[in-house]
Amino acid sequence: MKKPLIKVKDLKVSFYNNNKAVEVIRGFDIDVWEGEIVGILGESGSGKTVSSTSILHMMEKNEGIITSGEILYNKKDLATLSEKQMNTIRGRKIAYVFQNPAQALSPYKKIGRQFKNLLKNHNLKYSSAAVQSALEEVGIKDAETVLNMYPFQLSGGQNQRIMIALSIITKPDLLIADEPTSSIDTSLIKKVLDLFRDINKKYNMSMIIITHDFNVAKYICNRLVIMYGGLVVETGDINSILNNPLHPYTEELIKCAYSLDNYKDSLYSLEGAPPTPYEFKDECPFYSRCKIREDECRQAIPYMKEIEGRQVRCLKR
């Protein structure tokens, strides 16, 4: 019944800074099935944004380079495609919703013009009815007026919705949303997430939601990929991860996230900070903060184990 839509295998990405290559993504694996919402969860610097942008070759200033791994989509390896070939996929087959509307919306063009340009780029016909229905779908009522406005005339929430509308108008197979809730108000988070879920249901559109917030993941995702130190450390379906985390990092993170709810003397927190790409070593990335660490964890980067249909990168499990 369900088919895998995209399969990323052992993706590695390096960035160049002053002639020095820095490996930012050391191992990124993800499977997205049709109609599924997968969350990528991690802290800042874990590599969650880079790994998802590298699927579409959208690394900043072309400084990032995929050094190995494959991205299988529709019988093609996206990792090896040229820029020109990628243009036919980017936005058309796989859409990307940026964290910040300013990144995606051109400030000098009316909303309607932005729709026209997008459709023209993908050789699709512009029909105002389709655009209006897309806008209505994301919850913008007065579509006609909005099409004649500039981004700065609209609120952050409205711009967020327009970005989503822009992403879904081409009916892509996969929608990647980078922290879709971080730049909007608490009171709107639920609505935006509901919107994503509605779209998912309606078009059976697969989604990758990048977030750092367990609550968001819990609310919308079917499956979760936890990243730490440029590596995927755990994958599995959302409920089993939340109820029974396998990786010590996941466990600690969940404790932190929910310690506000059951506060006693102090908040639970992890000491130390996650490693930055400059500090990456060939050892378990969580070694320095781990409570169940042993010397063998320092020997090499642990491999991915499969436990009860879930995967975890920890020697101790």
Partner 1 sequence: MSEKVIEMTGTILSVKNLSKHFIIKNNVFSQKKIINAVNDISFDILPNESMGLIGESGSGKSTTANLVLRLLEPTRGEIMLFGKNIADINYKEMRILRKDIQIIFQHTFSALDPKMTVDELLKEPLIIHNIVPVQELDKEVDRLLNMVGLPAGEKIKFPQQLSGGQNQRVIIARAIATRPKIIVCDEPVSSLDVSVQGQILNLLIKLKEELNLTYLFISHDLKVVRLMCEKTAVMHEGKIVEIGKSSEVLFNPKHEYTRKLLDAEL
Partner 2 sequence: MKRPNFSLILGSVLLALILIIMLFPQLFSGKSPYTLEQLRFLVVDDKLEIELAPHPPSDDFPLGSDDYGRDIYSRIIYGTRLTISLGILIALGRFLLAVPMALSAGFGNETSKSIIKQFNTVFSAIPAILISIIVLSLDFFSGLNKSASILSFVVVLSIVGWANIGDVIHERVTLINKQSFITAETAIGKRKLKIATENVIPHLAPELIVLFFMEIARALSMLMQLGIFSIFIGNLKIIIDSDNGTLVFANVSFEPEWASMLGSSRNMLHAAPWALLYPALAFFISVLAFNLFGEGLRSSMQKKDSAVIPFIRKLISFNLIKSFKTSATSAKIKLAVFIILLGGIIAVQSIFSNAKYNFEIENPVDLRSEQAIISTVEADEAAEAIIDKMKELNIEPLYEEGYMQEYDIDKTCINTAQSFVIHSGNTSLEFEANKDYSFISTGSFNYTAPVYDASKDDLYSLSEFSKFDDKFVMINKSYYSDSYINYILSQIDLYSSAKGVFLYTREDREIENYILNRSDDMFILNISNTLSDTIKDNIDENITVSAEIKNLGTSGNNLIGIYHGEGALAEEAILIGMRYNYLDKDGKDILNFNLELMRRLCISFENKRSIIFLFVDGTLNPIQNGIYALAQDFPYTSSKVNVFIDLTGLNSADFDEVAFSSAQAPFTRQFAWSVAHQLESSFEKERIETAELATVYSNGEYIFTEDPEKNTLFWERGIATIVINTEKGGSRHNISDIGRILLEVINKNNY
The binding site for partner 2 (CB under 8 A) comprises: 16-19, 63
Q: How far is the CB of 66 from partner 2 (least distance, A)?
A: 15
Q: Does residue 253 belong to the site contacting partner 1 (CB under 8 A)?
A: yes
The only residue of 83, 269, 306, 309 in contact with partner 1, by rule CB under 8 A: 269
Q: Does residue 252 belong to the site contacting partner 1 (CB under 8 A)?
A: yes
Query: Quick one: 15 or 115, whose CB is closer to partner 2?
Result: 15
Q: Does residue 260 belong to the site contacting partner 1 (CB under 8 A)?
A: yes
Q: Does residue 261 belong to the site contacting partner 1 (CB under 8 A)?
A: yes
Q: What is the 3-state secondary structure (H, E, C) of the chain?
A: CCCEEEEEEEEEEEEEECCEEEEEEEEEEEEEECCCEEEEEECCCCCHHHHHHHHCCCCHHHCEEEEEEEEEECCEEHHHCCHHHHHHHECCCEEEECCCHHHHCCCCCCHHHHHHHHHHHCCCCCCHHHHHHHHHHCCCCCHHHHHCCCHHHCCHHHHHHHHHHHHHCCCCCEEEEECCCCCCCHHHHHHHHHHHHHHHHHHCCEEEEEECCHHHHHHHCCEEEEEECCEEEEEEEHHHHHHCCCCHHHHHHHHHHHCCCCCCCCCCCCCCCCCCHHHCCCCCCCHHHCCCCCHHHHCCCCCCEEECCEEECCCCC
Q: How far is the CB of 60 from partner 2 (least distance, A)?
A: 13
19 binds, among partner 2, partner 1, none (CB under 5 to 8 A by kind): partner 2
Q: How far is the CB of 302 from partner 1 (least distance, A)?
A: 20
43 binds, among partner 1, partner 2, none (CB under 5 to 8 A by kind): partner 1
Query: Quick one: 82 or 262, whose CB is closer to partner 1?
Result: 262
17 binds, among partner 2, partner 1, none (CB under 5 to 8 A by kind): partner 2
Q: Does residue 48 belong to the site contacting partner 1 (CB under 8 A)?
A: no
The footprint of partner 1 (CB under 8 A) covers 43-44, 155-156, 185-190, 212-216, 218-219, 252-253, 256-257, 259-261, 263, 266-271, 273-274, 276
